[in-house]
Structure 1
């Protein structure tokens, strides 16, 4: 049986000449996920290209700069631009507390108000310094996405099993 993989980032470019790649993280635990010794998989259009081991990690602006074992030059990583970094399910070993979730458990969930009005589905999660923000795609074409701050005052229930999030609407949140 083949292993299940979860996306943790996109390789957006190379960095300098020593084989580093610039990664836009899409993970709840970037410092843990990209630490030295982490095993990741590189996928191109849904196909496994190569499995790599991180042997260098640092942050630069909004990116994570990664270096992979046995990839000493830019020529070794140039072809990875535009590819996805994934982690095998067996490598996802973080213990989550009661109110913690993996991003991919949240994306796609239906969002309702406490009055049971359907708002749409979570399209993505934006990481901001103050808190994460759920981007909700409304079911009506042409309507703007709704931005829901992931804070206790707004997000009342996250039920991954039922595929649903319940929020308490704040003034100005939904137009």
Structure 2
């Protein structure tokens, strides 16, 4: 049976599990940098969300979703998804930082009116993985964590990472139970913190966790 942990400071409810999410995590010793979440994509990375039109000439106001807002200064092309009928690709014609980089105003080729810009409201700005920021040693993107085999400290598989969700206290691995692991439900969670001894091994496709922090 999965064991609850008193040090898990926030009670995680099933409602939280319903949030569609994406995140970017860097874990290097005790350093964790996170991206706010949106949808997971296999070869595209989210770097911002379009909030609304800005002005009357088709610019859009964006909130960055990245550990490095300076990357926006060098954007040449972006992809906007989801959309109708699908993704839309744009060349970037202008970039302006406002509020100290808290928001960014982008001008996109082919978008020249407020109405056209407002049609992109609440969509996400993506770049290809090839254009992503260079990761330091020991760092990884969330799509590299999803699908990893979860093993205990003895190397026995207990689950598969389904997603990584954000809570006020810390990130949490949401995992699907595999046959042979006795658990109260078909999913369990592990706080992605140093105390839980989360050891990611991308080469072998595993993440080792402490059973003391497994929560069902």
Map 1:41-120 to 2 at 5 A.
Answer: 41-44=79-82, 48-53=87-92, 55-56=95-96, 65-70=103-108, 71=111, 74-81=114-121, 83-97=123-137, 99-120=138-159
Cα distance in 2 for partners of 1:100, 1:17 equals: 35
Give the Å deviation of 1:165. Answer: 0.6
| TM-score, normalised relative to structure 1 | 0.66
Q: Measure the CA separation in 2 of the matches of 1:147 and 1:169.
A: 11
TM-score (norm 2): 0.56
SS at match of 2:195: coil
Mind listing any 5+ residue stretches in structure 2 that lack a counterpart?
A: 1-41
Q: Rg: which structure is higher?
A: 2
The RMSD of aligned alpha carbons is: 3.7
Instruction: Give the secondary structure class of the aligned counterpart of 1:158.
Output: strand
Residues 103-125 of structure 1 show CA distances to partners (whole Å, capped at 9, x for unaligned) of: 22112212111133433222222
State the shift of 1:66 in Å.
4.3
C-alpha deviation, 1:88, in angstroms: 1.7
Q: Pairwise mapping of residues 114-129 of structure 1 onto structure 2 (< 5 A)?
A: 114-128=153-167
Kindly indicate whether structure 1 or structure 2 has the higher relative contact order, using CA contacts under 8 Å at least 6 residues apart: 2
Count of aligned positions: 161
Contact 2:64–2:103 at 8 Å: present in 1 too?
no
- Structure 1 unaligned blocks of 5 or more: none
Q: Please give the secondary structure, in 1, of the residue aligned with 2:211.
A: coil
Higher strand share: 1
Decide whether aligned partners of structure 1 residues 131 and 94 sit closer, same or farther in structure 2, where only a CA change above 3 A counts: farther
**Partner of 2:134: helix, strand, or coil?**
coil
- Kindly indicate which of the two structures has a greater share of residues assigned to helix: 2
